[in-house]
Structure 1
Amino acid sequence: MFLTEPERLQTIKACRDCPMCHPVDVFAQVTGKEANTPRGRAMTLWGLEKGLLSWESEGVSEIFYQAFLDGLPQEWCEGNYDFDEMIIGARKTLVEKGLAPAVVSEIAGRIREIGNPRGISEKGVSAIVGQSPSTKPEIAIFLGSAARTERPQAAMALAEILRRLKIGFEVLEEESDSGFLSYQLGDFQTAAAQAKKIVDQLKKIRAKKLVVLSASAYRMFTTRFARFGSPFPEGLKVLHAAEFLCELLARGRLVFRKKLDRPVTYHDPCCLARFTYILEQPRKLLAALCESPPVEMNWNSKHARSCGGCGGVPFTCPDISQQASRLRVEEALKTKARVLASADPECEAMLSRVAQGIEVKDIIELVAEAI
């Protein structure tokens, strides 16, 4: 947990007494239960602090694993209290006491043995991205678990863009999970082990720039690795793929020859919108490659709703996760857009499973189609 004890106690007290962010807690919106609001969870923590409940009490573990941890309650909060870290701290305690849901240890085992949380067999990164156009890499690419397993389209599109522009690249052939999911689940041991493993691999690459497709991996690299004792190698610049493509556009290396003529709306990944503040770059790319400006959903930018993929909820409460995905797709459909674009393969995997009447695409795919 990355709150000090005084910060944790103050956050519990503040959340316990305030209903302000209830309308933006997606889990509570789906279930309609007070226990699933930030105040409900804080009341449970307050009961634990006062000895009115124990960590072994019925329902306590479930309460803390029923949260998306998407940063929206904090963004909405007048006091800017870090609700997510308060819950992650509770989850960490449950893991240490052996009271976390069984799926938490199952995920840790899959990551150790196979390299991704779903336990999907992998063929290697090169099998997805193919050959670099040059033996001198300008960049290294980090895909993330979703792009390596469920949603490889963005990785394939980025590699095609790089080949067309003759930009050399390299990959981590034995790339493993970033550890972000383990961190959110409170399994700090696995998160720290993954951070060390990836940093050790990055020390061997030749490129001085790392381009990351996964929004959660980008957040983990830029805000959490150092806290887990594994700072990035000195001199290695980390960019999200949207930032990298925007740089190419600004320098004139990226030229769009075929404009997208279908209406587009954009879904902000939580890890980009509220934690690393990559808001303008995806919109600049879309504005440049679309014939008409993208149409914003009501909940957008820093206030964008979750795709249903945050907080480990797809593993702990898959039905709730799917309902949250459906809410987001329904919001996109109200814009009359025909394409729902995002900048994270995990978001796209979540949204595409329920999308009907709208096509889900990564911005990288749209860029590849337009050049």
Structure 2
Amino acid sequence: MFLSEAERSETLWACRFCMMCHVADRVAAVLRRESYTPRGRAAVLWALEKGLLDWNADAADLVYTAVNDGLLERWCVGKYPYEELIVDARARFFRLGAVPEEIRRRVEDLHAGREMGPSPAAILGDAGVAMDPEAPRILFAGCTSRRRFPETLIRLGRLFNAAGVPFRVLEEEPCCGWPLYQLGDFDGAGAFSRRIAQMLRRAAAREVVAMDADCLRMFTTRTVRFGGDVTGITFRHAVEALADWLKDGKLVVRRPLPGPVTYHDPCALARYRATIEPPRDILRRVVAGEIREMEESGANAPCCGAGGMLADYKPEVAGELAAWRLREAAETGARILATACTRCDEMFRAGREANAALPPLEVVNVIDLVARAVAIA
């Protein structure tokens, strides 16, 4: 557990009497039930701790039906660690074997390595992307990229080549452990964290460039806490690298893209890493047309629906959140919605396909936009 008894008690006390952040909780807005608000969840958790309710799957449903995107803590006047409270509760339910069946099956799939997709080495090698087996820089694709967006991974590899930046991938890239952490399997997350850290050390990695924002957050905020030794390794997201290469002239824009374009800030980048300007700097360089901001953007941007593994547990609720954000993007009049996280890509594309009434809007990863602009895609 990452919260002390004092921190948990104080956060429970504060959250069950306050509703300051409710306006930012889109899960509660979709479900329209008090028990799914931050105050409602805290009240139930308090009752569980007092022995007034049972630690069972029905109670667990309340803490798994949440996005854990950090936005509520921005609204919190006391800056209480609400997300840690929810993850801490998930870990308790998991340890007691009281999680919903959907969660149990998802954890089993993660341990079995199901749905990880082909290895990055195979994807890039088959596409003819040049990799340097001695490079100290590791490109970490992540499970979602490998399974759903191998073409974006290939384009990123080609952008490395075009920029003259040597890199390699882990031959057998494992899961970073983020999903297990979010689902409450702390033992599993710890084992995964130690394994990936050991693999990076054996590879003599000095820098890791991550495609998936959640993988990056795991590496920079949780891997060490779970016992993974990543001392001396620098981690950054692909958009941070691309922004530098465009600024330094390593990548040259040959086909400026038409606008207007709007950008969705992934939670893991905007709130947990403060990576807000690099993707916008990229768009200013590769888009000839207008770049239009949504009303809620930057560190205040709401979740796409994938946060907290909600899409794995309650896909219909996550889909509502994605459709909500797509409508906000369409209101800007943009023709392209740019993202910088493959989980956001997945949610928005699925949401667009499931809602024929939504205005036409092309969802494109920033990596793919750069590839188009430098004429390698």
TM range (shorter): over 0.9
- 1:4 maps to 4
How many Å separate the matches in 1 of 2:133 and 2:81? Answer: 45
Residue among 278, 281, 289 paired with 1:281: 278
Alpha-carbon distance, 1:254 to partner: 2.1
Residue among 288, 291, 294 paired with 2:288: 291
How many Å separate the matches in 2 of 1:247 and 1:26? Answer: 35
User: What are the equivalent positions in structure 2 for 1:85-100 lying under 5 Å apart?
Assistant: 85-100=84-99
C-alpha deviations, 1:221-250, integer Å up to 9, x for none?
Answer: 000011001121x33211111111122223
Structure 1 contact 182–188 (Cα < 8 Å) conserved: yes
How many Å separate the matches in 1 of 2:322 and 2:95? Answer: 31
Structure 1 contact 133–167 (Cα < 8 Å) conserved: no
- 1:19 maps to 19
The question of 1:80 aligning with 2:79 is answered yes
- What is the alpha-carbon root mean square deviation over aligned residues? 1.6
C-alpha deviations, 1:234-278, integer Å up to 9, x for none?
Answer: 332111111111222232212212111121111111111111111
How many Å separate the matches in 1 of 2:96 and 2:116? Answer: 31
User: What are the equivalent positions in structure 2 for 1:6-85 lying under 5 Å apart?
Assistant: 6-56=6-56, 59-85=58-84
Which amino acid in the other structure matches residue 242 of structure 1?
V
Structure 1 contact 286–293 (Cα < 8 Å) conserved: no
Which amino acid in the other structure matches residue 191 of structure 1?
A
How many Å separate the matches in 2 of 1:221 and 1:14? Answer: 30
Alpha-carbon distance, 1:174 to partner: 1.1
SS of the residue corresponding to residue 225 of structure 2 reads helix
Q: Which runs of 4+ in 1 moved over 4 A?
A: 133-136
- 1:257 maps to 254
SS of the residue corresponding to residue 169 of structure 1 reads coil
How many Å separate the matches in 2 of 1:49 and 1:172? Answer: 43
The question of 1:124 aligning with 2:119 is answered yes
SS of the residue corresponding to residue 312 of structure 1 reads helix
Which amino acid in the other structure matches residue 321 of structure 1?
A
Alpha-carbon distance, 1:65 to partner: 1.1
Structure 1 contact 134–166 (Cα < 8 Å) conserved: no
Structure 1 contact 133–166 (Cα < 8 Å) conserved: no
State the TM-score, normalizing by the size of structure 1.
0.94
How many Å separate the matches in 2 of 1:207 and 1:42? Answer: 42
Alpha-carbon distance, 1:289 to partner: 1.0
Alpha-carbon distance, 1:33 to partner: 0.9
How many Å separate the matches in 1 of 2:131 and 2:52? Answer: 64
Alpha-carbon distance, 1:107 to partner: 2.3
How many Å separate the matches in 2 of 1:164 and 1:248? Answer: 10
SS of the residue corresponding to residue 168 of structure 2 reads strand
State the TM-score, normalizing by the size of structure 2.
0.93
Alpha-carbon distance, 1:113 to partner: 2.1
SS of the residue corresponding to residue 345 of structure 2 reads helix
Alpha-carbon distance, 1:287 to partner: 1.1
Structure 1 contact 273–301 (Cα < 8 Å) conserved: yes
- 2:326 maps to 329
Residue among 171, 178, 181 paired with 2:176: 178
Which amino acid in the other structure matches residue 76 of structure 1?
W
C-alpha deviations, 1:97-120, integer Å up to 9, x for none?
Answer: 100112333223222222xxxx32
How many Å separate the matches in 1 of 2:175 and 2:196? Answer: 9
How many Å separate the matches in 2 of 1:63 and 1:138? Answer: 44
Which amino acid in the other structure matches residue 204 of structure 1?
R
Structure 1 contact 138–167 (Cα < 8 Å) conserved: no
Structure 2 contact 116–144 (Cα < 8 Å) conserved: no
Q: Gaps spanning 5+ residues in structure 1: where?
A: none
SS of the residue corresponding to residue 157 of structure 1 reads helix
Alpha-carbon distance, 1:176 to partner: 1.7
How many Å separate the matches in 2 of 1:46 and 1:138? Answer: 48
- 1:200 maps to 198
SS of the residue corresponding to residue 260 of structure 1 reads coil
Structure 2 contact 131–168 (Cα < 8 Å) conserved: no
Deviates more, 1:60-69 or 1:119-128: 119-128
Structure 2 contact 198–229 (Cα < 8 Å) conserved: no
C-alpha deviations, 1:17-49, integer Å up to 9, x for none?
Answer: 111111111110111111111000011112123
- 1:338 maps to 335
Which amino acid in the other structure matches residue 366 of structure 1?
L
Percent of aligned pairs sharing the same letter: 37
Which amino acid in the other structure matches residue 64 of structure 1?
V
Which amino acid in the other structure matches residue 122 of structure 2?
A
- 1:358 maps to 361
- 1:167 maps to 165
